[in-house]
Chain A
Amino acid sequence: MSAAQWRRAMNSGAGRTAWSRPPSLPARPGPAGSAIATGTAASPVQSIVGALRTIGVRHVAVLLVVLVYPWVATPFFIYQIGGQALVLGLIALSLTFLGGYGGMVSLAQMSIAGLAGYMVAIFGIAGEAQGGASSLGWPWWIAVPIGVAIATLFATFVGWLSVRTEGIYTIMITLAIGVSFYYLAQQNYSIFGGHQGFNQVHAPVVLDIDFSKPIPYYYLALFWALAGYFFVKYLLRAPFGVALQGTRENPRRMNALGFDVTAHRVAAYAVAGVLAAIGGVLLTWYNGRISPGSVGVGAMLNILIIAVLGGMRHPLGAFIGAILFVLVQNFAIDVIARERFNLVIGIVFLSIVLFSPDGLLGLWGYVRTRILAGGVQPKIRGWGVGSTRREPARMRNGGTAADR
């Protein structure tokens, strides 16, 4: 995408805000609104300054909590709950970016993450695998970039393939691609190590810090989770992000404005691929192993569940969903037998989809406006609170004739 296109994205975003909103209406809160409102920021420096100005007490408080957390929690809570939630949240963040802002719900994000994990195991150091597959034993600082790069290429390919069809087909095609990858990993012994996969894929020791220990691993995961979060936040206000949201709202109109809709969508897949790949490497280190089970349908759906649980309208939703998911996963045993974890999470997911399509964040927004502030808000219905702005227009059946 050229700089000229970016500039045009900026200008049209600003222009549209100026004339599309009647002056009497207050600016609608929410990610889409703020993204377009701040889309006029001319340079990264200005936008950083602008971002600093919006920092409130709650942001500092959350940052302090996540930083201090390892010093008060037990290793189980640091590693199994904290570390896992951050990493799963990072992978789910890639789906939130794609689905919530690009309007493309991809189920293959876990496959991309898993491919990165496989590549790290194959190029890096791993235990002996079944059936002749062996790792090359290269150091981590070569293996990890290679793994992330290959996974990103794969993500771009998935994007190139799935943007050829529209809306609801995306979910089918990405599911089919993901399941194909699962069967390939399971059947192929010479490269992917077959059913067993690779064992003993551990986080490296750098500068005498063993990143497979709970506290260093937690901070490693926290670093990348925060990096991913702020990267996505920044990108959504950048011209590319604004244009991407435009393609979600109305691809036809964006096309008429001179944007290459397909290029934006494929680029979004690539960006989400980087996030998923980093998450995949971290997840492989967390588990210490990678096997077809890590990229199976269950794992693919878990990422979707996490993103939907938290809510796909804000990057934060991915992490909130991940925390809830990991807590349910670990403590379902106290409510009902451990084997019935899927039942519990399935019912939780189903009730969220049925009753609060915007996830926990949507529920919170509803509670805040309806009960705490006593304001009048339309009943939650469909995807988005009765607003076309949040709902990917092309996902719906209706739409006007002009949109087709």
Chain B
Amino acid sequence: MNISGRFWTWFWLAVIGLPLVVFVVWANLTNPRQFVSTLLNGVTLAALYFLVASGFTLVFGLMRNVNLAHGSLFLLGAYIGWVVGDATDNWFLAIAAGFASAALVGFLLQVSVFRFMQGQELRQTMVTIGISIVLADLMLWCFGGEIYSFDPPRAIFQTMPMVVVGKYPAYRLVVLGIAIAVGLVLWLFLNRTKVGMMIRAGVDDRQMLAASGVNVQRVFAITFAIGAGLAGLAGVIGGTALSISPGEDTRYLMASLVVVIVGGMGSIPGAAVGALLIGLAEQFGLSYAPTYGVVFTFLIMVLVLAFRPTGILGRRST
């Protein structure tokens, strides 16, 4: 059994890996510049996806709540951040406002709605769908269909020298840095603080956590606020990298869904792996096969679901 298992591992590695190696060699020989810039774009897009998806997966992991209003929280954070940034001319305040506003909305939602339907997963999901429809329309009402863009500090919004490609926008690397920082902070928070410990315990066994005297509702509210806040934070950062307009909520909801399905539901490292895969697939797809770009994303999802239904780093739910 061991030998045949190893055989199949090598078989699939060859089937998937060989074409990849051939592609990488071919792309580097023909046009290294395009390859490297696509690679950089892919990694920085992955950073953005990780920011959005980490909140989604955090909430899902603890509460089994598929928050389909996550995209709306992303857009809400972006709009509020834009208003604050516009009023104060301070981009860092805009980020803080994006995080705080989305976190507040998330907290209110958990406290006033979701805590009353604990365990009814399907109903919670339906409610998040309803909320996303209402929020999307309210935001369209308030902010209209225009495209908003941020005004970040000059220092981080210029080009910088880079190997092979020559020049590269510094802001994209800033996004990468922020994502790594957020990932580290989340890791420290989950592994080194008391609340983080409770959250991890809750992911493993909610009933046991409640039985050992922890106020589970408070842990839930904190987690939901952090998850929603991460969406809002990503809203400002993503809105600065690209722009904010109605419809972006769907795009990032889709991104977090696919990232979380691929990476493993409820797992933060899984979100990082999934984001990297999807970000790279999307950028390489756009660069080398423009009209079929989304097919690669879809293919990755199909492959992962076919071989590891719980995602690459996911575990069976308890």
13 more A-B residue pairs beyond the given contacts A161-B306, A173-B305, A304-B129, with a C-beta to C-beta distance below 8 A: A161-B302, A164-B306, A169-B261, A171-B68, A172-B261, A172-B265, A180-B298, A183-B294, A296-B250, A340-B141, A343-B134, A347-B134, A397-B64
Pair A353/B130 contact, Cβ less than 8 Å:
yes
Interface residues in B118-142 by Cβ distance below 8 A to A read 118-123, 125-127, 129-131, 133-134, 136-138, 140-141
In the complex formed, the residue of A with least CB distance to B127 is: A353
Pair B134/A168 contact, Cβ less than 8 Å:
no
The residue in A168, A177, A308 that gathers the most chain B C-beta atoms within 10 A of its C-beta is A168
Interface size range of chain A in the complex: 35 or more
For B130, the chain A residues whose CB sits under 8 A away are: 346-347, 349-350, 353
Pair B306/A346 contact, Cβ less than 8 Å:
no
Interface residues in A264-312 by Cβ distance below 8 A to B read 296-297, 301, 304, 308
B187 at the interface (CB under 8 A from A): no
CA distance in complex: A382, B126 (Å): 12
B153 at the interface (CB under 8 A from A): no
Total residues of chain B contacting the partner, CB 8 A: 45
A184 at the interface (CB under 8 A from B): yes
Pair A350/B305 contact, Cβ less than 8 Å:
no
A342 at the interface (CB under 8 A from B): yes
For B291, the chain A residues whose CB sits under 8 A away are: 187-190
CA distance in complex: A190, B134 (Å): 36
* Other-chain residue from B120, B131, B260 in contact with A382 (beta carbon distance below 8 A): B120
Q: A350-B130, A392-B122, A396-B119 are in contact. Are A180 and B294 (CB under 8 A)?
A: yes
Pair A340/B123 contact, Cβ less than 8 Å:
no
A383 at the interface (CB under 8 A from B): yes
B295 at the interface (CB under 8 A from A): yes
Interface residues in A168-220 by Cβ distance below 8 A to B read 168-169, 171-173, 175-177, 179-180, 183-184, 187-190
CA distance in complex: A290, B301 (Å): 27
For B196, the chain A residues whose CB sits under 8 A away are: none
- Interface residues of chain A, those whose CB is within 8 Å of chain B, are 105, 161-162, 164-165, 167-169, 171-173, 175-177, 179-180, 183-184, 187-190, 296-297, 301, 304, 308, 339-340, 342-343, 345-347, 349-350, 353-354, 357, 382-383, 392, 395-398
Pair A187/B293 contact, Cβ less than 8 Å:
yes
B32 at the interface (CB under 8 A from A): no
Pair A184/B133 contact, Cβ less than 8 Å:
no
B182 at the interface (CB under 8 A from A): no
Pair A165/B66 contact, Cβ less than 8 Å:
no
For B250, the chain A residues whose CB sits under 8 A away are: 179, 296-297
* Chain B 278-308 interface mask (CB, 8 Å, partner A; 1/0): 0000000000001111110110011001100
B258 at the interface (CB under 8 A from A): yes
For B269, the chain A residues whose CB sits under 8 A away are: none
For B290, the chain A residues whose CB sits under 8 A away are: 187
Q: A165-B309, A171-B125, A340-B137 are in contact. Are A177 and B298 (CB under 8 A)?
A: yes
* Other-chain residue from A169, A175, A339 in contact with B68 (beta carbon distance below 8 A): A175
CA distance in complex: A190, B141 (Å): 36
In the complex formed, the residue of A with least CB distance to B129 is: A301
Pair A350/B123 contact, Cβ less than 8 Å:
no
B195 at the interface (CB under 8 A from A): no
* Other-chain residue from B122, B133, B140, B298 in contact with A105 (beta carbon distance below 8 A): B122
B53 at the interface (CB under 8 A from A): no
8 example contacts (A-B, Cβ-Cβ < 8 A) are as follows A168-B121, A168-B122, A179-B257, A342-B134, A342-B136, A353-B127, A357-B123, A396-B119
In the complex formed, the residue of A with least CB distance to B254 is: A179
Pair A172/B294 contact, Cβ less than 8 Å:
no
State the Cβ distance, B285 to closest chain A Cβ, in Å: 10
What secondary structure prevails in chain A residues at the interface with B? helix
* Chain B 96-131 interface mask (CB, 8 Å, partner A; 1/0): 000000000000000001000111111101110111
Pair A184/B294 contact, Cβ less than 8 Å:
yes
State the Cβ distance, B146 to closest chain A Cβ, in Å: 15
B44 at the interface (CB under 8 A from A): no
B310 at the interface (CB under 8 A from A): yes
For B301, the chain A residues whose CB sits under 8 A away are: 173, 176-177, 180
For B123, the chain A residues whose CB sits under 8 A away are: 353, 357, 382-383
Interface residues in B28-66 by Cβ distance below 8 A to A read 64, 66
Q: A175-B68, A176-B254, A180-B294 are in contact. Are A350 and B134 (CB under 8 A)?
A: yes
State the Cβ distance, B222 to closest chain A Cβ, in Å: 20
The residue in A176, A179, A188 that gathers the most chain B C-beta atoms within 10 A of its C-beta is A176
Pair A168/B125 contact, Cβ less than 8 Å:
yes
State the Cβ distance, B5 to closest chain A Cβ, in Å: 20
State the Cβ distance, A266 to closest chain B Cβ, in Å: 14
Pair A398/B119 contact, Cβ less than 8 Å:
yes
CA distance in complex: A342, B135 (Å): 10
State the Cβ distance, A180 to closest chain B Cβ, in Å: 4
Pair A343/B137 contact, Cβ less than 8 Å:
yes
Pair B133/A342 contact, Cβ less than 8 Å:
yes
In the complex formed, the residue of A with least CB distance to B65 is: A168
In the complex formed, the residue of B with least CB distance to A170 is: B122
State the Cβ distance, A310 to closest chain B Cβ, in Å: 14
For A304, the chain B residues whose CB sits under 8 A away are: 126, 129
Q: A105-B122, A345-B133 are in contact. Are A172 and B257 (CB under 8 A)?
A: yes
Pair A171/B119 contact, Cβ less than 8 Å:
no
* Other-chain residue from A172, A177, A301, A382 in contact with B66 (beta carbon distance below 8 A): A172
For B136, the chain A residues whose CB sits under 8 A away are: 342
Interface residues in B213-260 by Cβ distance below 8 A to A read 250, 254, 257-258, 260
Pair A175/B257 contact, Cβ less than 8 Å:
yes
CA distance in complex: A259, B153 (Å): 63
CA distance in complex: A114, B22 (Å): 37
